[in-house]
């Protein structure tokens, strides 16, 4: 296949992945303010889209972790090819859509890492992966970030309920508009960069960009726009899980969760840690459920989410590896991989239409989740 056509195809897939990342992760910022009534659903996703767009321009440290860190390339390393990057993206996209269909807030970031690792190992061997970067910048933050966010949100929830009276807590709804906006901004500084890193890695691998260089302005702009459009499209299934499926969230809890999520993501982006914003947000929501007296965490749902965290990298890796095996057979293999991926994507979207979830039925409980009805006061 002509190198220019192949690079264009990889860039198109990367931007589609960025789009799925947007709607997959809208819940990270907007599930709690929607659940508490602080923001109307369509207004919430519009705010998140704009701030994701802005956030994507604020930093490129995470992009450099991917383009010049996780996958070794260039002098002194193994040259990963655009074909392998294409296979890795297919692994990430398919797994992202599977978890979206299930309403499971898994990590888009880890899906991307898993797909790339699986494809790179098949095509270039384990030497293509920088183990030090994988452990220090991805795996360790994957463990520590949700725990840290959960502890911070637990303490913030305790403090909020201790310092305020019941009649004063509606003020937290107004605060949630600010804190959820910060989460969206922080999300743009972290997640949009991952696609920037993939496109930059592709351009370097194809010889269109120098080794060690960062993302070009047009790459930053394209990725910012793609994730913003994906964010605006909603991702309502995961919003429902995050907002209602883990615990019943009150405004003070939502404020605490969003504050903890923002602080964790911004600190990680500054350090170049390519963490999962989904894990951070989920950890924060669980922390608030533990922190509020009388609240309960639905541990069965939390367990499903944790299982998704554990299997995302290997599952996306397996899909990416299989795609790499087929694509490695030549032009016919590349075409076959793309056709199969399009068929899988279409099938998932058609299956989702059988049980449609959008802003109109968002507050219905998840299947299998029992929500205790509110007690009505007896009339005198």
**The predicted structure's pLDDT at residue 69:** 64
DSSP 8-state code for residue 208: S
**The predicted structure's pLDDT at residue 78:** 47
Residue 277 lies in domain: 3-353
Q: Is 28 a member of any domain?
A: yes
Q: Helix %, strand %, coil % for the chain, to 5?
A: 75, 0, 25
Dihedral, CA of residue 241, residue 243, residue 244 and residue 245, to nearest 10: 30
Q: Is 153 a member of any domain?
A: yes
Q: Is 286 a member of any domain?
A: yes
pLDDT in tens, 300-309: 888 888 888 8
Q: What is this structure's pTM?
A: 0.84
pLDDT in tens, 82-129: 899 999 999 999 999 999 998 888 888 889 889 989 998 998 888 778
What band does 365 get if pLDDT is binned at 50, 70 and 90?
Answer: low
Q: Is 88 a member of any domain?
A: yes
Query: DSSP for 228-256?
Result: HHHHHT--HHHHHIIIIIS-PPPHHHHHH
**The predicted structure's pLDDT at residue 169:** 76
Q: What average pLDDT does range 212-241 have in this prediction?
A: 88
**The predicted structure's pLDDT at residue 98:** 94
Which range of 195-199, 295-299, 325-329, 356-360 scores highest in mean pLDDT? It is 325-329
DSSP 8-state code for residue 37: T
Residues 6+ apart with CB under 8 A from 191: 21, 25, 52, 108, 109, 227, 277
d(CA 245, CA 240): 7
φ/ψ of residue 97, rounded to 5: -75, -35
Q: Is 197 a member of any domain?
A: yes
Q: Is 248 a member of any domain?
A: yes
d(CA 172, CA 35): 13
Residues 6+ apart with CB under 8 A from 101: 237, 348, 351, 352
**The predicted structure's pLDDT at residue 380:** 45
**The predicted structure's pLDDT at residue 12:** 95
Q: What average pLDDT does range 150-177 have in this prediction?
A: 86
**The predicted structure's pLDDT at residue 76:** 53
Q: Is 273 a member of any domain?
A: yes
Question: In percent, how much of the chain has pLDDT > 90?
Answer: 34
How many C-beta atoms surround the C-beta of residue 15 within 10 A?
Answer: 21
When divided into structural domains, the chain yields a total of 1
**The predicted structure's pLDDT at residue 278:** 83
For residue 152, count CB atoms less than 10 angstroms from its CB and return exposed for 0-12, middle for 13-18, buried for 19 or more. buried
125: left (phi over 0), alpha (psi -120 to 50) or beta: left
**The predicted structure's pLDDT at residue 295:** 78
| 189 vs 317, more confident | 317
Judge whether 112 and 317 are in contact, CB under 8 Å: no
Helix (H, G, I), strand (E, B) or coil at 169: coil
Which candidate, 66, 358, 373, places its Cα nearest to that of 192? Answer: 66
Q: Is 11 a member of any domain?
A: yes
What band does 62 get if pLDDT is binned at 50, 70 and 90?
Answer: low
| 15 vs 140, more confident | 15
φ/ψ of residue 365, rounded to 5: -65, 155
**The predicted structure's pLDDT at residue 371:** 44
Question: In percent, how much of the chain has pLDDT > 70?
Answer: 88
Q: What average pLDDT does range 368-373 have in this prediction?
A: 45
What band does 151 get if pLDDT is binned at 50, 70 and 90?
Answer: very high
Which range of 206-210, 217-221, 371-375 scores highest in mean pLDDT? It is 217-221
């Amino acid at each position: 296949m002509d190198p220019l056509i192949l690079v264009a195809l990889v860039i198109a897939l990367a931007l589609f992945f960025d789009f799925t990342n947007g709607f997959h992760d809208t819940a990270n910022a907007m599930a709690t303010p929607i659940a508490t009534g602080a923001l109307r659903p369509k207004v919430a996703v519009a705010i998140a889209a704009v701030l994701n767009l802005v956030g994507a321009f604020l930093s490129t440290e995470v992009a450099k972790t991917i383009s010049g860190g996780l996958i070794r390339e260039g002098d002194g390393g193994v040259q990963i090819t655009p074909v392998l990057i294409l296979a890795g993206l297919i692994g990430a996209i398919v797994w992202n859509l599977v978890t979206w269909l299930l309403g499971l807030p898994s990590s888009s970031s880890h899906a991307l890492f898993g797909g790339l690792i699986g494809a790179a190992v098949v095509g270039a061997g384990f030497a293509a992966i920088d183990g030090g970067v994988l452990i220090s910048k991805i795996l360790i933050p994957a463990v520590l970030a949700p725990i840290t966010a959960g502890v911070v949100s637990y303490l913030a929830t305790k403090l909020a309920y201790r310092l305020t009276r019941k009649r004063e807590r509606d003020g937290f709804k107004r605060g949630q508009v600010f804190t959820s906006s910060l989460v969206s901004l922080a999300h743009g500084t972290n997640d949009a960069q991952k696609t920037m890193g993939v496109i930059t890695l592709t351009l370097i691998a194809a010889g269109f960009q120098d080794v060690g260089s960062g993302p070009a302005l047009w790459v930053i702009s394209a990725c910012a726009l793609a994730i913003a459009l994906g964010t605006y499209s909603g991702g309502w299934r995961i919003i429902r899980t995050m907002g209602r499926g883990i615990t019943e969230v009150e405004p003070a809890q939502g404020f605490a969760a969003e504050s903890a999520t923002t602080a964790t993501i911004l600190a990680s982006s500054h350090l170049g840690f390519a963490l999962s914003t989904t894990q951070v947000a989920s950890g924060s929501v669980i922390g608030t459920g533990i922190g509020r007296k009388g609240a309960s965490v639905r541990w069965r749902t939390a367990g499903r989410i944790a299982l998704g965290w554990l299997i995302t990298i290997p599952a996306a890796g397996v899909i990416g590896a299989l795609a790499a095996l087929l694509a490695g057979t030549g032009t016919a293999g590349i075409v076959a991989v793309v056709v199969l991926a399009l068929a899988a994507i279409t099938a998932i979207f058609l299956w989702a239409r059988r049980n449609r979830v959008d802003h109109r039925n968002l507050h219905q409980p998840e299947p299998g989740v029992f929500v205790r009805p509110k007690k009505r006061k007896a009339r005198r």
